[in-house]
Structure 1
Amino acid sequence: MMKKTIIAFCSLFILYMPVAKPTHANEIKRWKYEKTGLVFWEADTKEKLIALTFDDGPDPLYTIQILDAMKKYNAKGTFFVIGKEAERFPEILKRQAIEGHEIANHTYRHKFRDMKNPNVLKAELRKNSDLIKRITGKAPTLFRPIAGYYDEQIIETSIDNGYYVVLWTWHQDTRDWKKPGAKRIARNVLYDTKPGDIVILHDAGGDRSQTVKAVEYILESLYKRGYKCVTVSELLSHSNSVVPVLLLNP
């Protein structure tokens, strides 16, 4: 009887004993790159500020609807645009700029393989930057790698060409591209919102009607809770650890 009791106790102890959290490679890389002050996942602030970011646009249907929703709440966002799409719909970029949103670089062609060659990536960044500046009068200072993928070469190429690299807060990956439903997309954002969060959404690249509806839910809820949606650059300017300066002259 005693032997069985001891075995049972030991089994429970092993089951519930604290386990050291493994250190993942991406955590090590994040710490390394954050130290540069040029790569960001979020801002260090206690103010109720949050940045909604949108990849892969502009789109003549969904981007417009998102801009309408944001205008209703006086919200500002950051749009990581693809050059080929911006070339097709320059009026949308002009509207974004006029309404106080931030336009950022997401490469010209949006081809993953282009990021693996530093010379090609440099050309992609430059071509998109020149296009954005021609349309809006201001060159972008922020870059988001395609699908958020980064390695040392991509980071170094981006920084060497005058960009801040912006990813997103780990718990704010909405995965809206999976189309799980507008309420679930919104819930992913609102469940554990924290000051300084950077949220990733998509305003193009497929049917984004769920994202549009989710943005309306998100904005309504955030503003009821006292949050303000700002551009990434404004968010970072409130950071307690890093106060960015523009690396490129507009």
Structure 2
Amino acid sequence: MFLHSRVVLVISVVALLLLTGFTNQQRPNDRSYYESRGEVVWEVPMNEKLIALTFDDGPDPKTTPQILELLSQYDAHATFFVIGNRMAKYPDIVKQEAFEGHEVANHTYNHVYFTPRVTMATIQEEIVKSQQQIEQITNQSCHWFRPPGGYYNEKVIQAARSHGYTVVLWSWHQDTNDWRTPGVKAIADKVLRNARNGDIVLLHDHVKGSNQTVEALKLILPELKNRGYRLVTVTELMEHKRSKASKDVKE
């Protein structure tokens, strides 16, 4: 009887976690639902050979400048989802990102994981504080928000939308797991083996072992260029989609 009760309890807890969305990878029907409303972007399928590289958790005083140098070398642009409290420490790097034509996007102020227990007030504060930091340092605004860990739910989406943001995640086949330090070849292979038009690639410029990401880019960037891909910001990717949609309507 005791064993049966424990089994029932475990099943109930698991069911509750699934229902409340305590996961950073939502159920398949959730993706379709949010994509259809244009509230979460994972990728932008298209015929043109465009890919958006994105870098989370920076800026980093060592690896971010190295990444910027490599991007410049290959005439590539990227979107940096930055942490507010790190921007405050390294504002000159953020200014360099913006000056060189890259996109500085919102990744919260303190890298808080927005599990269902996190209040709307906390979510709002994290978004707004980071937004203010970006605007103060770059004199620019950006409409993309990436919740740490990819944790999203209706509260997160509503909070982002109320401040003019769209939630941007990444192509599921382009999560490089570079934060796990899997090795330079593993990171590069994940990107190159799965490269598709309209991909949004997840990388990090401030994690343990970020040097692997830097070294992997030395393989990724020239190879993608050789394949004819143009590396663009998320905004450029989305604008291309809107432009094509407008053209299709006219035709």
The secondary structure found in structure 1 opposite 2:60 is coil
- Listed as ranges, the gaps of 5+ residues in structure 2 are 1-24, 247-251
AA matched with 2:99:
I
The aligned residue for residue 45 of structure 2 is: 44
- Listed as ranges, the gaps of 5+ residues in structure 1 are 1-23, 245-250
AA matched with 1:192:
N
1:161-210 deviation line (CA, Å, top 9, x unaligned): 21011000010000011111111101001102110000000000322000
User: 1:68-79 to 2 correspondence within 5 Å?
Assistant: 68-79=69-80
Q: CA offset at residue 45 of structure 1?
A: 1.1
Whether the 8 Å CA contact 2:58–2:86 is kept in 1: the answer is yes
The aligned residue for residue 192 of structure 1 is: 194
Q: 1:175 aligns with which of 168, 171, 177?
A: 177
Q: Does residue 1:123 correspond to 2:125, yes or no?
A: yes
Q: 1:221 aligns with which of 223, 238, 251?
A: 223
Q: CA offset at residue 241 of structure 1?
A: 9.4
Please, what is the CA RMSD of the aligned residues?
1.9
With the length of structure 2 as denominator, give the TM-score of the two structures: 0.84
With the length of structure 1 as denominator, give the TM-score of the two structures: 0.84
Report which of the two structures shows the higher radius of gyration computed on alpha carbons: 1
The aligned residue for residue 81 of structure 2 is: 80
Q: CA offset at residue 111 of structure 1?
A: 2.1
The aligned residue for residue 133 of structure 1 is: 135
Which deviates further from its counterpart, 194-203 or 155-164? 155-164
Whether the 8 Å CA contact 1:48–1:227 is kept in 2: the answer is yes
AA matched with 1:141:
H
Structure richer in helix, relative to its length: 2
Q: Distance in 2 between matches of 1:148 and 1:114?
A: 10
The aligned residue for residue 239 of structure 2 is: 237
Q: Percent identity?
A: 47
Change (3 A) 1:129 1:243: farther
Q: CA offset at residue 38 of structure 1?
A: 2.8
Change (3 A) 1:26 1:242: farther
